[in-house]
Amino acid sequence: MQKVRMSRKGQVVIPAGIRKKLKLKHGESLFIEEDQGMIKLKPKVKLRSLCGTWPDLDIEALTKEIIEDRKDDEEREKLIEKAIAKIKKR
């Protein structure tokens, strides 16, 4: 266990050895949670890193499905924005 100091802004520096071990890079997103009085930071899992862990996982099909879902979400958001604009005009 290593000791770190928190800044006035609540920032802490993850020691270089841990960053290297976990292959964390500048600007990378982490998940943070409080669990029974402890603070846990978890690196975001890269989808490609799961290849091989699920024998039937088709990464290309999964990627395509995610992109299609995002497009659908974008279309829904546009419809919602149009509806809100109509309501505001009334």
Radius of gyration of the chain (CA): 21
What is the reported pTM?
A: 0.48
Predicted pLDDT at 50:
67
Residue pLDDT, tens place only, 45-68: 776 666 677 777 777 888 899 999
User: If you average pLDDT over every residue of the chain, what do you get?
Assistant: 88
Predicted pLDDT at 61:
86
Assess contact for 24 and 43: CB atoms under 8 A: yes
Residue pLDDT, tens place only, 77-89: 999 999 999 898 8
Q: Taking Cα atoms as reference points, which of 12, 9, 7 lies closest to residue 32?
A: 12
